[in-house]
Amino acid sequence: MAVSDPATASNVSEVVCADWSLTATVELTAKQLWGVLTMNLAPRKADALPSRIVLDVHQLRVAAVHCANSGAALAFKVEPFAAFGSALVIDTPASTGFWAAGKPAIRVYYVAGEGAAFCWLDPVQTAGKVHPFLFTQGQACLNRTFFPCQDSPGARSAWSATILIRKPYSVVMSAPMENAVEGTTAAGLAVSDELVASMYPPAGTPGGGSAP
């Protein structure tokens, strides 16, 4: 990037996220989202392989980070950055062979729901007074409370998402729904009595700075 972004901890000047996909289970009663985020990455300079990947996070708990290709665990830590976020630092030294893979990718396992991206409504707060409701938003710098990311307007990538939620609830996102099925399993998450909604923006639509 020609101009640095003081609002992001991510090393977008070193690492490009070509595309990412999210598989998440939403638990309305517990007010939690359990996410599995897969990011396809590339170094900005082929002759300067980054020794670490840095992503923005805030008010979410990272449980593990793996190399998506080999399944090997990658060392990580969360470091202070600012009042509005922290830095998720993932080690990718040459000894890991991470960048030697044909399509380097990471998989991050995490729990979210406490951050400002999540607006949880109890039944009494809704018009029908029967079911709870969740609205998410990513403007400003709230994406980092929803999922680990390069939370900067200069970091644009394609994305897709599969959201798992218990019946009778449904899912609406800023993309057309590809399919919705019941009683299946995705990314190791058992969802025998849940709705699985998969959504993909039209080809060529940039991820921009908005959450799914």
Q: Domain extents for the chain? A: 15-199
Write the pLDDT tens digit of every residue in 15-50: 999 899 999 999 999 999 999 999 999 999 988 999
Of 3.30.470.30, 1.20.210.10, 2.60.40.1730, 1.10.260.40, the CATH number of 15-199 is 2.60.40.1730
Provide CB contacts within 8 A for 36, sequence distance 6+: 22, 23, 24, 107, 108, 109, 187, 188, 189
Integer Cα distance of 25 and 165 in angstroms? 6
Q: What is the pLDDT of residues 96-145, one digit of tens each?
A: 899 987 789 999 999 999 999 999 999 999 999 999 999 999 988 999 99
What CA–CA distances, in Å, run from 18 to 15, 31, 39, 106, 109? 10, 31, 8, 12, 19
Tokens representing 23 are: 């598989």
